[in-house]
Amino acid sequence: MISKKITLIGDFSTGKTSLIRRFVDNEFSDNYLSTIGVKISKKIIDVEDKKVQGLIWDIEGGTDTKPINQTYLRGVHGCIIVSDITRSETIEHLKNYINIIQSISKDIPYVLVLNKYDKIDEEKAKKIYTELLSSLAISEDRLYFTSAKSGMGVEMVFSILARLMLG
Amino acid sequence: MHIQEVFNAIYSNHCYEYFIIDKEYKVVEYSDKVFDYCTIKSADSVFEFIPELYGLDNELEEIFDGSLAMYKIPIVSKNDKYVNIYVYPGREKTSAPKSYETLIVLFEDITTIATTKQKLIQEKNENTLLLQEISIKNEQLELYNTKMQELVKEEIKKNLEQQKMIELQARYSQMGEIIGMITHQWKQPLNAISMMANVLILKQQNNSLDNKILEEKLDDIIMQVKYMSQTVNDFQHFFNPIKDKMYFNVFDSIQSVLDLVKSEYFHKNITVYLDGDKSVNAVGLPNEVNQVVLSLLKNSKDEFIKNPHSNMWIKINITSKDDKAIIEVVDNAGGIPEDIIDKIFDIYVTTKQDGSGIGLNISKSMIEDHMDGQMYVTNVENGAKFTIVLPTTMDE
C-alpha cells in the first residue's frame, strides 16, 4: 500500500490536532492543548478503488513571533492549511502558508480549510468564503468549511487531498 | 583507577536509547529500552517503525555520505513522551571517499523540559487568544457605542418632533378657544351694525332719513367695525411667535389677554380680577406667558362649568420679590385632588374627562425651559393657586 505524508499547517489554535483526532479516532475535545514537536497518526484513506496510508503530521502551529518549522515539511506529499473562521488573522495568514508550500515545490497539492464552522453564522461564513476565493484567486475545489466538533467536512477534506496526491 | 565503574555508572544512568541501521535502512543493533519509543522488527525498514523519518531519504543519504553531520527531529513518541530523535553517522567505511556504513538513531527523552515548554507555549497562546478576543470585543463595543449614539440621536430627534407636535396641538387648542371668544365678542357689534342698518333702511323707506342721522349711524357702524378689527389684531398679536426673550410689562401683557376673553367669562358669570404692581417688568416671551395665563384661565373656567356656584372668581395678582416677577393665578373652583397634585404638570395627566393632559405640561415647559422661570401649584381654600416666577434681568 502506498504511504503518503500529509502535514497540517496553520496558525496556533486553529484546530489542526482536533481535525486529526476527528479524522483518525472520530473524537473531539473542547480543551485546547498546544502542540509542540510533531505527532504522527496513521489512517488508511480510500480513494475510489485504491487505498492510501496517510501518515498525518500534526505540527506546532505558527505564531507571529515563531513561524512553523519548515523541516517538518520535508518529503511532504500533501498539505491541509488550516484557519479558524472566527479569527480573521488566521485567515489572512493562509496566503503565507501557501507561499511556504510552494517554496518547497509548486507540485505539492494542498487544500485550505476554514475550521470551526460551528462557531459562526452561515451568512457570515459565506461572505468570508466568497471574499477569500477572490483574494487568494483560487477555485472552490481548494477551499472548504470544516468543523472538528461536528465532523462536518473533515472526511471529505482528507479524501480530496488524497485524490489530489494520487494525481 | 575506576574507569570501568565510572563507565558503568554513566551507562546505567544514560538517558538515550538507540538503534543502528545499515544502508538498507534495516536495524542491525539496538539498546534494551528502545522499545519504549518504537516497535522494532529487524526485518522492517526504519520508515515503518519511525514514520517521522518518512520522506527524509535525502537527509539520511547525506548523513551516510558525510555531507550532513546530524539530523534532529522532535516527536511525541508512542508512549506520549516528548522525544528528540537524532540521526548521527555510525561506523566509517574504510575505503575512500569518506562515508559511513551505518547510522545511529538516538532517542533522547525530553518530556520534563518539553512539558514545561509546552506549558509556556500554551500560556502564551492562550494569552494571545485572550488579547485577540478582547480586541474583537473592543471593536464590537465601539460599534455598539456608535450605534447606540445614533439611536440616542434618533430618539432625541423623535422626542423633539413629538414635543413640537404637542406644542402645536396645544397652540391649535388655544386658537380654537380664542376664536370661540372672538365669535362671542363679535356677536354684540354685529347685532348693533345689523340694527343700525335696519334703522337706516326703515328711515329711507319712510323718507325720514336725513344726513345727520345717516352720519351718526355710519359713525356708529365704523366704531363697531374698528372694535371688531381691534379684536382680530389682538388675536393675531397673541399668536405671533416671538423667539427672542425681551423685557415686557407683566400687567399690560396679562391685561391684553383679559381684553380678549373678558366677554366670554362675563357671560359665564366668572369674575376675573387683575391686581398688583403695574410697574413690574419681566424678561421672557410675553406671548408665551399670555398663553400660559390663558391656559390657567381656561382650566378654572372648565372647573366652574363642571361645578358652578354663585360666586365664581379668578384673581390674578402681580408682584415682585428678589429680582423676580411673580404672577399668581388663584381661583375658587375647588382645587386639584391631592392624589394627583404632585404630577399635575406631567404630560397626559388631567382632571378633566375630555382633557388631553397637555396644557399644564406645555405651560410649565414654556416658563421653565424657554424662560428660565418657575411654575408650581398649591391648593388654597376652595381652589388652586398657580404661581409663575419670571426673571427680571436678562442673562449674560
Among partner residues B54, B58, B122, which is closest to A3 by beta-carbon distance? B54
Among partner residues B51, B58, B125, which is closest to A42 by beta-carbon distance? B51
B182: confidence class by pLDDT, cuts 50, 70, 90: confident
Q: What is the pLDDT of residues B10-46, one digit of tens each?
A: 776 677 888 899 998 888 888 888 888 887 776 778 8
CB distance B56–A3 less than 8 Å?
A: no
Question: Which residues are registered as beta bridge partners of B83?
Answer: B75, B109
Going from the C-alpha of A5 to that of each of A82, A158, A162, the distances in angstroms are: 16, 12, 10
Q: Are B265 and B272 in contact (CB under 8 A)?
A: yes
Q: Which ipTM score applies to this complex?
A: 0.82
CATH number, domain B242-391, options 2.40.260.10, 3.40.50.150, 3.30.565.10, 3.40.640.10:
3.30.565.10
| Chain B CA closest to residue A34 | B122
Residue spans in chain B of domains classed CATH 3.30.450.20: 3-109
Going from the C-alpha of B310 to that of each of B258, B332, B383, the distances in angstroms are: 21, 11, 15
Half-sphere exposure of A28 (CA within 13 A, CB side): 13
- Please name the fold of domain A2-166: Rossmann fold (3.40.50)
| Chain B CA closest to residue A75 | B55
Give the separation between CA B236 and CA A63, rounded to whole angstroms.
79
Among partner residues B47, B54, B118, which is closest to A34 by beta-carbon distance? B118
pLDDT of B396 strictly over 60: no
Q: How far is A135 from chain B (nearest CA, A)?
A: 22
Q: How far is B121 from chain A (nearest CA, A)?
A: 7
| Chain B CA closest to residue A39 | B76
Residue spans in chain B of domains classed CATH 3.30.565.10: 242-391
Name the interface residues of B facing A (CB cutoff 8 Å). Answer: 47, 51-52, 54-59, 73-76, 82, 114, 117-118, 121-122, 124-126, 128-129, 132
Give the separation between CA A86 and CA A97, rounded to whole angstroms.
18
CB distance A75–B125 less than 8 Å?
A: no
Domain positions in chain A: 2-166
Instruction: Name the pairing type of β-strands B374-380 and B383-391.
Output: antiparallel
CB distance B55–A76 less than 8 Å?
A: yes
| Partners of residue B81 in chain A, C-beta under 8 Å | none
CB distance B52–A40 less than 8 Å?
A: yes
Going from the C-alpha of B39 to that of each of A55, B78, B299, the distances in angstroms are: 17, 9, 103
pLDDT of B233 strictly over 90: no
Between helix B250-267 and helix B111-205 the angle, nearest 10°, is 60
CB distance B126–A76 less than 8 Å?
A: no
Q: How far is B76 from chain A (nearest CA, A)?
A: 5
pLDDT of B174 strictly over 90: no
Closest CA to B173 of B375, B32, B363, B17: B363
The helix/strand/coil state of B245 is coil
Q: Using CB atoms within 10 A of its CB, is residue B263 exposed (0-12), middle (13-18) or buried (19+)?
A: middle
| Grid cell listed for B274 | 387683575
CB distance B75–A33 less than 8 Å?
A: no
B356: confidence class by pLDDT, cuts 50, 70, 90: low
Q: How far is B49 from chain A (nearest CA, A)?
A: 11
pLDDT tens sequence for chain A (167 residues): 788 999 999 999 999 999 999 999 999 988 888 888 888 899 999 988 889 999 999 998 988 778 888 888 888 999 999 999 999 999 999 999 999 999 999 999 999 999 999 999 999 999 999 999 999 999 999 999 999 999 999 999 999 999 999 98
Q: How far is A39 from chain B (nearest CA, A)?
A: 5
Q: Does domain B3-109 have CATH number 3.30.450.20?
A: yes
